[in-house]
Amino acid sequence: MKKTWLTLSSTLLMMATSSAWADRTIVDQIGREVTIPDQVNRVVVLQHQTLDLLMQLDAKDKIVGVLSSWKKHLGAEVIRLDPALPSLPMPGDLTQVNVESLLKLNPQVVFVTNYAPQAMIDQISNVGIPVVAISLRADKAGQANKMNADIANEDQVYNQGLAQGIRLIGDVVNRQKQAEQLIKTTFADRAEVAKRLDEIKPAERVRVYMANPNLTTYGSGKYTGLMMQHAGAVNVAAASIKGYQQVSIENVMQWNPQVIFVQSRYPNVVKEINTDPRWQSIDAVVHHRVYLMPEYAKAWGYATPEALAIGEMWMAKKLYPANFKDVDMTQLANRYYEQFYHVPYTQAVTQ
């Protein structure tokens, strides 16, 4: 009996060990087959969108290194969502990596952006570390590794791509259940916003400009324009430029937007617009409609869950307050942040 028990114990130990070291193959968002460990507990994240998603998937404890520009892209307030961020090593950024520094972290997977240079991906892969590229887009052939892709159906590309990206990241870090809940919540409020805006005719929709530093903005083919569309706005830059580009003050004056939005990570841009003489004749400035967006209304080139779940609602309420007077954005934001970031949304929300 004792011998049988020992044999059984040895077999179970061997099975557990084998399972712990088992590999599996996934397909990342630029179509690459990548072999990764069955259980991934150490990841380096060289893309800010993926870093944001890992926090929402309750996988912060798996992050052992981050991109060097995380604060620039996510904003300083993100530290309250993950207090460990400032102490994490930074072995690279969106388009470059220090392999020697990376190896010291012993990661099982490195997440990169879809437009990371092939040489960067090769550097990491050649030292035996799996690389997973995330685009948050469902691109057609030949567009997956581009920053400014050629997109025919923006709704389809970003909706499907975001869901695919969340599932992929959740699968890599073994957070499948959390990924499905995040996807479900992300798309829940879109129909409500659309219903409240249904009566507003195309000619009556507000013309909006998204102001980034150094006169950069988002044209067609970026989630920001889709966010405006779902919020009942018209992106004034969409007809003239594609992707993320720098424009001139003359362009903005010609577009003459009725509202200017500025992302929460760029508060100085609001001050620049309100004090720079060149902006003072623009309709949005004249009527004091230059708004700093709340943290969750991420008008990035790529879609994020909170931008869809509550950011589009905030934007729509800001543009058409009478249609959303019963909507309490503070309540919505707190509910979302407590569910996914596991902290309350403590900033003041401009209703």
> Regarding the domain with residue range 192-340, which homologous superfamily does it belong to in the CATH classification?
Nitrogenase molybdenum iron protein domain (3.40.50.1980)
- SS3 label, residue 166: helix
The fraction of the chain above a pLDDT of 90, given in percent, is 77
Q: Which of 93, 86, 105, 91 is closest to 48 using CA atoms? A: 93
Residue 187 and residue 159 in contact, taking contact as beta carbons nearer than 8 Å: yes
- Rounded CA separation 242/99 (Å): 34
pLDDT recorded at residue 348: 52
Lowest mean pLDDT among 62-66, 89-93, 100-104, 155-159: 155-159
How is the chain split into domains, by residue range?
17-186, 192-340
Q: Topology of 17-186 in CATH?
A: Rossmann fold (3.40.50)
pLDDT of 72 strictly over 50: yes
pLDDT recorded at residue 257: 98
Residue 3 pLDDT grade (very low, low, confident, very high; cuts 50, 70, 90) = very low
pLDDT digits (tens, 9 = 90+) for 123-141: 999 999 999 999 999 988 8
Answer positive or negative: Cα dihedral of 101, 103, 104, 109.
Answer: positive
Burial of residue 335 (CB within 10 Å: 0-12, 13-18, 19+) is middle
The helices-and-strands tally (H runs, E runs) of the chain is 15, 12
Helix 176-186, helix 48-56: angle, nearest 10 = 100
b/e per residue 134-163 (b: at least 16 CB within 10 A): bbbbbbeeebbbbebbebeebeebbbebbb
Helix 48-56, helix 154-172: angle, nearest 10 = 60
For β-strands 109-113 and 259-262, DSSP reports them as unpaired
Question: Which pair of tokens denotes residue 118?
Answer: 């092939």
pLDDT recorded at residue 10: 46
CA dihedral 295, 301, 305, 308 (to 10 degrees): 90
Question: Which pair of tokens denotes residue 172?
Answer: 């890599």
- SS3 label, residue 124: helix
pLDDT digits (tens, 9 = 90+) for 247-275: 999 999 999 999 999 998 899 999 999 99
Same fold, 17-186 and 192-340: yes
Q: Which of 117, 120, 111, 123 is closest to 55 using CA atoms? A: 111
pLDDT digits (tens, 9 = 90+) for 29-69: 999 999 999 999 999 999 999 999 999 999 999 999 999 99
Question: Which pair of tokens denotes residue 296?
Answer: 């969750």
Q: What is the pTM of this model?
A: 0.84
